[in-house]
Every structure is written in C-alpha cells, then in structure tokens.
C-alpha cells in the first residue's frame, strides 16, 4: 500500500490524473456543455475565435469547441476500448504461452512477431476499405494490433514467476493449473502490463486521430482528427482549426504518458528500497 500511496502522491501522476479527469468530464458532459449535433453548421464559415464561438468555426461553419468536446468522447473510447481489448488478449495469450511452454510457446511467440510486423495503419486502411469505418470496428482493429507487447510482457512475467514458491505451493494445495495461473501468477505479474497498457492508450488515441485526419474515420462523428482534417486546407488563414485540437491531443497523450511512466517507475523500484 506504500507503493500505491507513493504512486498517487507523485506530482507526475497528479498532473496526469487532473488532465485525464478534465477530459473525462468533457466527454461525459458533452450533451450538457454543447447541446445539439456538433456536426451541424451553426455560424459563418471560418470565423476566428471569440464572440459566439470561443474556438471559432471551420469552413462549414461548425463550432470547433463543440466538435472538440464531442471529439473527446471518441478519443476516450479509443483509449480505453482498444487498450482494454489489448490488455485482455495480451494477458490471456501471454500468460498461457509462458505457462504452457514447449511448442505452444514457440508457436505463440511467432504469432506475436507476426502481429508486430503487420503495419498497423495499412491494416486499418484495408479493413476500413472492406467494412467501412465504424467506431467499434476500428477500436477492435487497433486493439488487436497493439496486444502483442502486452503478451510479451506477460509471458516474461510468467516465466519468472512460475518458479516462485507460492506457485508450487498452490499446486500442492490442490489448485488446478489454470487456477494457479490466474490466481497466483497473473495478479503478481500484472504491474508492468498495466503500465504498458496506459502507454498504449496514448498510442490508440494517436492512431485514431491520424486515421480521422486521413479521412478514414467515422464521418458521422466529431473527432479531433476530423477537425484537423477539416483544417489542413485552411491552415494559413484559420490556424485555430489546427491549434486547438492539437493542444487537446497533446494534453491527453501527455496525461497517459505521465501516468504510465509514473506507474512504471513505482513498480520498478526495488522491493528492498521500499521496505
């Protein structure tokens, strides 16, 4: 519990959490803050920030602030959705791979590597071309392209933990193999996987933004990438179209990175130094 306390009182974590909570608040309260569909035109095109529109409007006269607020939903969904998927798949496959060992482990490792070498953006473009761009599909696609790193970390954890005394003790206590794996080994090896997952959230957000920027996002939903996409042609005359979503994106990535690295550091401190 000392560790948890030192993690939560760390200035890095606090900064990250504050940003994240604000973002979550915006996403949750979007209908209250900016009622109505953000993709509807509400004013003159390319209006500079100030007046009715604090962040101005784009070339279709859409409110950038409203799109930004609603867009945070997409970013959050991608962050948590894709990393949760990656976490579950990574833990299960990595744990089984390390625990069962032998030819199964060899096979799984080749599969991890296969997923590593598939270019993520290429795969997503392919999928979007085939199945259209829905949010759910894209979350799944991003999720299944980022899980191998979680799997590799979990596998390494299992390999070191499976010779621990309490794992043997669990066996002697009469536990089943799967029971021991998920009761004793996985919980004790979760730390590094969790901190990696938080860093992956940043990755997922960034991937989504770049896809939307390329025009491959869901055109019926406001997202930060969409604003950037709309702004690229007017970058000289209306820089606010790029600046505000850019700042939002940078802040969210910063938050995930701060929390992720802080968690990583907390977990890596030698046990001896903590006691």
> In terms of CB distance, is 173 or 247 closer to other proteins?
173
Q: Report the residue number, 175 or 246, with the smaller CB distance to other proteins.
A: 175
Considering the complex, state which of residue 104 and residue 166 has its C-beta at the smaller distance from other proteins. Answer: 166
User: With binding defined as CB under 8 A, does residue 15 bind other proteins?
Assistant: no
DSSP code string of 173-202: TT--HHHHIIIIIHHHHHHHHHHHHHHHHH
Quote the least distance from Cβ 270 to other proteins, whole Å.
Answer: 12
Chain centroid to CA 122: 19
**Which of 25, 54, 166, 219 lies at the binding interface for other proteins (CB under 8 A)?**
166
Closest approach of other proteins to the CB of residue 187, in Å: 5
Q: Which is nearer to other proteins, 20 or 154 (CB)?
A: 154
- Residue 257 Cβ vs other proteins, minimum distance, rounded to whole Å: 27
**What number of residues does the chain have?**
275
- Whole-angstrom distance between the N-terminal and C-terminal Cα of the chain? 11
For other proteins, the binding residue among 35, 102, 132, 165 (CB under 8 A) is 165
- Judged by CB under 8 A, the chain residues 52 through 91 that form the site for other proteins are none
Cα–Cα distance list, 185 to 77, 83, 168, 212 (Å)? 30, 21, 11, 40
| Least distance CB 62 / other proteins (angstroms) | 50
- Of 189 and 217, the one with the shorter C-beta distance to other proteins is 189
Indicate whether 164 belongs to the interface with other proteins (CB under 8 A).
Answer: yes
Count, residues near other proteins per rule CB under 8 A: 17
Q: Restricting to residues 171-200, which ones interact with other proteins according to CB under 8 A?
A: 171-176, 179, 184, 187-188
Using CB under 8 A as the binding rule, whether residue 215 contacts other proteins is answered as no
Give the span between the Cα atoms of 167 and 160, in whole angstroms: 11
d(CA 16, CA 50): 29
Q: CB-wise, 235 or 274, nearer to other proteins?
A: 274
The angle subtended at Cα 209 by Cα 203 and Cα 212, nearest 5°, is 140
Residue 195 CB, nearest approach to other proteins (Å): 17
Whether the CB-CB separation of 60 and 226 falls below 8 Å is answered with no
Stretch that binds other proteins, among 43-51, 162-170, 192-200, 208-216 (CB under 8 A): 162-170
How many CB atoms are located within 10 Å of the residue 174 CB? 7
Q: What is the Cα–Cα distance from 94 to 50, expressed in whole angstroms?
A: 52
CA-to-CA distance for 9 and 14, rounded, in angstroms? 7
Three-state DSSP class for 50?
A: strand
Q: Work out how close the CB of 184 gets to other proteins at its nearest, in angstroms, rounded to a whole number.
A: 5
- φ, ψ for residue 151 (rounded to 5)? -60, -40
- List residues binding other proteins (CB under 8 A): 164-166, 168-176, 179, 184, 187-188, 275
């Amino acid at each position: 519990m000392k560790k948890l306390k030192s993690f939560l009182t760390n200035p890095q974590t606090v900064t990250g959490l504050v940003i994240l909570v604000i973002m979550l608040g915006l996403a949750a309260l979007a209908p209250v803050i900016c009622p109505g569909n953000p993709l509807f035109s509400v004013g003159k095109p390319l209006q500079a920030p100030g007046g009715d529109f604090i962040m101005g409007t784009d070339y279709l006269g859409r409110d950038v602030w409203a799109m930004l607020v609603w867009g945070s939903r997409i970013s959050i969904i991608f962050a948590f959705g894709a990393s949760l998927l990656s976490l579950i798949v990574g833990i299960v496959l990595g744990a089984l791979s390390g625990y069962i060992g032998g030819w199964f482990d060899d096979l799984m490792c080749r599969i991890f590597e296969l997923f590593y070498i598939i270019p993520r953006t290429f795969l997503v473009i392919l999928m979007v071309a085939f199945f259209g761009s829905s949010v759910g599909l894209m979350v799944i696609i991003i999720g299944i392209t980022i899980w191998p790193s979680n799997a590799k970390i979990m596998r390494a954890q299992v390999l070191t933990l499976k010779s621990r005394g309490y794992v043997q003790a669990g066996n002697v206590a009469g536990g089943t193999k799967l029971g021991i794996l998920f009761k004793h080994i996985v919980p004790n090896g979760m730390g590094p996987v969790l901190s990696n997952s938080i860093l992956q959230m940043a990755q997922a957000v960034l991937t989504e933004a770049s896809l939307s920027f390329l025009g491959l996002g869901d055109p019926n939903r406001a997202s930060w990438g969409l604003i950037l996409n709309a702004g690229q042609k007017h970058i000289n005359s209306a820089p606010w179209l790029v600046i505000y979503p850019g700042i939002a994106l940078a802040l969210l990535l910063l938050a995930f990175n701060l929390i992720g690295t802080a968690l990583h550091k907390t977990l890596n401190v030698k046990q001896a130094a903590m006691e």
